[in-house]
A = this chain, B = another copy of it.
C-alpha cells in the first residue's frame, strides 16, 4: 500500500467515526430537547395546582373545597385528555409523549378557568362531571382551530401559540355558559366573603401563575424561541401589574387585593397569541392595555354583566380570561405580518360558539344532578376541624 492509500484509509476511518457519532448525537439532542420541554410541563403543573388552586382560595370559607376541586379537576382532565388523544377521532398519535402531556395540561388550565366561573356553587362530584364533559368539547375546538378539524380552518392559519383564544377565552366563555344554567336566586344574595388570610393565599396563587407563565407560553415553541417568548411574557405581565395598581386605585379609591391578584395576570392571557412574534415594546403595551381592560372589568363591568346575563361569575373569569383573551386573539391581526385575517376571525367566532353551546349544555346536564344548599362554604361537604 502506498502513502496515498494509507492516508485514504485513515480518512475513511475518521470520517465514518465522525458520521456515526453524529447520528448518535441527533438522538441525544432530541432527548435533551424533550427533557427540557418536560421542565416547562412541570412549571405548567405548578400553575394548574398551586396557581389556579390558591388563586381560588380567596373565598374565605371555601378554601379546602377550592383546593380539593382543583386536585380533582386536574386528576380527571389530564388522564381523560391522554386517553382521548390515543383514540382515532383526535388522531394525535403523531405527537410525541411530552407534547401530548403539555396539551393535556393546557386543557386542564382551560377547565380550571371554567370551574372558576361556578366556584363555590358546585358539589364536589359535580366538578368531576364538569371535567368529563368539558374535555371532549375542548378537544373538538382544539381540533378545528389547530389541526384542520372538519376542514374548517386551514392548519397553521389560525395563530394562538400561547392559547389566548383556545385556552383562556374558551374556558371563560364555557364557564359563563355553565354559570347561566347553574346560578340560583339565593346565590345572588350570598356574599362571597374574603379575609386577610384568604387574600394572602390568593396572592400566593397569583404569584405562582405570574412566575411560571413564561413556561406556559413557551411550552411548545421551538427551542430557539423559548427565551424571547419568555421575555415577552415577563414584559407583558410587568405592564399589566403596574397598570392594575394604577387603575384599581383610580377606579376604587383604594387598592383591591383581588384586582392585583387577578388583573396583573391579564398581560399573560393577552400576550398568548403573539408571544413568540411580538417585539418587547409591543409586549409591554399589550400588557398595559390588557391589565387596564381587566381591572375595568373587575371594578366596573362585572356587576352589570352579572345582572344582564343573570349569572354569577365567582372568580370573574370573564374579566381575567374572557376579554383579555379575546383582545389577545385580535391583537394578532395588527402585530403579525401577513396574518390570514379571515382564518383568525373565523377561529375566534367558532371558538365563542362552541364554548357557549358546550357550556350551556354542560351546565344543564350538571344541574340535573342536584344543587348545593349553601354556596361558598366548606362545611356542607367537609369534616369540621
Copies in the assembly, this chain: 3
Closest to A50 in B: B207
The reply to whether B75 and A242 contact each other, CB–CB distance below 8 Å, is yes
Instruction: Give Cα A4 to B8, complex, Å.
Output: 8
In whole Å, how far is A244's beta carbon from the nearest beta carbon of chain B?
Answer: 9
**Which listed segment binds B: A27-35, A111-119, A176-184, A314-322?**
A27-35
Residue count of chain A within 8 Å CB distance of chain B: 99
Contact flags (1/0) for A26-61 with B, using CB distance below 8 Å?
A: 101101111110110111011001100110010000
The reply to whether B235 and A79 contact each other, CB–CB distance below 8 Å, is yes
In whole Å, how far is A115's beta carbon from the nearest beta carbon of chain B?
Answer: 15
Residue of B17, B67, B255 touching A68 (CB-CB under 8 A):
B255
Instruction: Give Cα A241 to B228, complex, Å.
Output: 37
Residue of B22, B68, B210, B230 touching A18 (CB-CB under 8 A):
B22
**Which listed segment binds B: A133-141, A153-161, A190-198, A327-335?**
A190-198
Closest to A57 in B: B200
The reply to whether A260 and B201 contact each other, CB–CB distance below 8 Å, is no
A189 at the interface (CB under 8 A from B): no
The reply to whether B238 and A75 contact each other, CB–CB distance below 8 Å, is yes
Closest to A41 in B: B230
* Besides A14-B19, A82-B235, 9 other A-B contacts (C-beta < 8 A): A11-B11, A14-B15, A32-B33, A32-B223, A35-B36, A64-B196, A71-B207, A72-B245, A255-B383
